[in-house]
Amino acid sequence: MSETTPAAAPRPVKDFSQARSPIRFTIDSDTFEAASDIPAEVLVQFANRFNDLNLKTLDPEAQYRTLMSVMELVLFPASFTVLTGRTKDLERPVTLPQLSDVIAWLLGEYGMRPTQPSSNSSAGSASPVPGTNSMASTPDAVSTSALLPLTVS
């Protein structure tokens, strides 16, 4: 007589899917939508382009081209079209400093942080509330006067 061994139960499938919704921000009365998360290769391009950006040494045209190339990587096409138009609009302009601030904020939304603390940032609250995460929210305005290399976290 031969005994049959019961078949092992199949392992459950681990699901790594993520709920995704666009990242939204406004400039004046326009709302822009960026990808909620960016693919790994695009994330590397985004970080590299930002790391190559030095607003103190690039001429304004090079600054503009670099900032817009970064925005094109993450904005949905309709939002990028509106942004491009706004960079030429004398009545409702989007300025280079605004573009820099938006990109710095987006970097935080995508989990990228400067590799060293910025000398222009405030020290913040001396004693945060226990149990809170200091990285839980990103500031509304970010200074990019001293751009630093970034790391993906």
pLDDT band for position 113 (50/70/90)?
A: low
Average pLDDT of the segment spanning 47-73: 80
pTM above 0.85, yes or no: no
Average pLDDT of the segment spanning 98-115: 82
- What is the SS3 string spanning the chain? CCCCCCCCCCCCCCCCCCCCCCEEEEECCEEEEECCCCCHHHHHHHHHHHHHCCCCCCCHHHHHHHHHHHHHHHECHHHHHHHHHHCCCCCCCCCHHHHHHHHHHHHHHCCEEECCCCCCCCCCCCCCCCCCCCCCCCCCCCCCCCCCCEEEC
Mean residue pLDDT across the chain = 75
